[in-house]
């Protein structure tokens, strides 16, 4: 009988197993309905997946069939279903922007096409638009793609665009028609309906996290000169605990030498599995095994305590980055060789 741990496959891995089981033609039809990042993530998982057991395959297929049987009202109240599902899976902060992109983008064509183009092509298409429209477009796209695009723009417009992203207080649904018509140079007016959650300080910070370090510094200096309070808000959101996964191995090892084991144990309570594995990878085998055991045996902790521990580690991270001892990959820092 299969071990329980063997059957525990989640997320992208489950999707990859399902697509492998369906066969080439059916899998291809499903991939047509996925976005570029999803295709890349699932494709990478399929390419690296080996030794999928029969028990795992049966478990994934059985779960999929059970889910389908449970959906007795397909298409009804799907907006609420999507919101609840993603919020439950990712948490309110991470799911918010994704939910808006999914629900707003389901009927769009032009914007979805932008997601498949390289940064230079997108920048060329929107460079003559009003900076506010450019800001809305960048808010709609994923932060990594938006970061590549803004790096293409001239220095004198980058700051204006990022400030508009940061001060964007939502986008009204009718404005999606404007965004979708960018390729045709046609815009529609905004209606008096409830706005969405795209844009804002976090969106601007996410983009700046991923641009080149020199560009980031210039933009932040200019924003500080114009609006110091806004600049501070953006900086406060620019590097969060999850971004530690973008720090290279040497940087992680340097950071771990500066952090108390009790503090790390508390901070990792709120971390996702990928970040935990990254931390374990950069510890000795004995230390990582002890940390794994401590995490499994640890009693529940208050969220505020976990967040404070993460903030303390981030303070150490910023200090090490400022002194040049580590490079913050998420902030576009240069690697040392």
In a domain, 85, yes or no: no
Q: What pTM value is reported for the model?
A: 0.42
In a domain, 169, yes or no: yes
Q: How far apart are CA 167 and CA 153, in angstroms?
A: 20
In this structure, the answer to whether residues 137 and 181 fall within a common structural domain is yes
In this structure, the answer to whether residues 40 and 148 fall within a common structural domain is no
| Segment 170-181, tens digit of pLDDT | 776 666 566 666
In this structure, the answer to whether residues 314 and 297 fall within a common structural domain is yes
Average pLDDT, the chain: 75
Higher pLDDT, 69 or 314: 314
Tokens of 22: 């369906």
**Does the pLDDT value for residue 79 go beyond 80?**
no
In this structure, the answer to whether residues 230 and 315 fall within a common structural domain is no
In a domain, 94, yes or no: no
Contact present, 176 and 112 (Cβ < 8 Å): no
Q: Which residues contact 42 (CB under 8 A, 6 or more apart)?
A: 12, 15, 16, 19, 31, 34
Total domain count for the chain?
A: 3
In this structure, the answer to whether residues 120 and 62 fall within a common structural domain is no
> Domain boundary residue among 209, 238, 267?
238
Mean pLDDT of 263-285: 90
Closest CA to 272 of 89, 145, 97: 89
In this structure, the answer to whether residues 124 and 223 fall within a common structural domain is yes
Domain, as residue range, for 217:
107-238
Q: How far apart are CA 92 and CA 100, in angstroms?
A: 12
The confidence band for 120, taking pLDDT boundaries of 50, 70 and 90, is confident
**Does the pLDDT value for residue 27 go beyond 60?**
yes
């Amino acid at each position: 009988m299969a071990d329980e741990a063997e059957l525990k496959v989640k997320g992208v891995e489950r999707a990859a197993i399902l697509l492998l089981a369906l066969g080439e033609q059916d899998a291809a039809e499903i991939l047509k309905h996925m976005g570029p990042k999803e295709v890349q993530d699932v494709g990478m998982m399929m390419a690296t997946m080996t030794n999928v057991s029969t028990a795992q395959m049966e478990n994934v297929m059985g779960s999929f069939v059970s889910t389908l049987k449970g959906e007795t009202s397909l298409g009804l109240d799907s907006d609420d279903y999507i919101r609840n599902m993603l919020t439950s899976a990712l948490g309110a902060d991470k799911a918010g922007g994704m939910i808006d992109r999914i629900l707003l983008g389901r009927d769009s064509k032009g914007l979805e096409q932008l997601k498949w183009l390289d940064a230079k092509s997108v920048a060329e298409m929107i460079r003559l638009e009003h900076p506010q429209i450019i800001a809305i477009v960048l808010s709609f796209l994923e932060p990594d793609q938006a970061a590549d695009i803004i790096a293409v723009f001239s220095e004198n417009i980058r700051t204006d665009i990022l400030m508009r992203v940061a001060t964007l207080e939502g986008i009204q649904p009718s404005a999606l028609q404007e965004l979708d018509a960018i390729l045709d140079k046609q815009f529609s007016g905004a209606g008096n309906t409830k706005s969405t959650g795209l844009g804002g300080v976090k969106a601007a910070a996410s983009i700046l996290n991923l641009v080149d370090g020199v560009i980031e510094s210039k933009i932040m200096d200019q924003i500080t000169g114009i609006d110091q309070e806004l600049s501070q808000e953006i900086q406060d959101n620019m590097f969060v605990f999850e971004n530690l996964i973008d720090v290279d191995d040497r940087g992680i090892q340097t950071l771990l030498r500066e952090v108390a084991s009790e503090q790390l144990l508390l901070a990792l309570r709120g971390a996702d599995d990928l970040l935990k594995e990254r931390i374990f990878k950069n510890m000795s085998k004995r230390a990582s095994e002890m940390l794994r055991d401590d995490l499994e045996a640890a009693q529940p902790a208050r969220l505020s305590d976990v967040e404070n521990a993460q903030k303390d580690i981030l303070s150490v991270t910023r200090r090490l980055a400022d002194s040049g001892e580590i490079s913050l990959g998420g902030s576009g820092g240069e690697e040392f060789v």
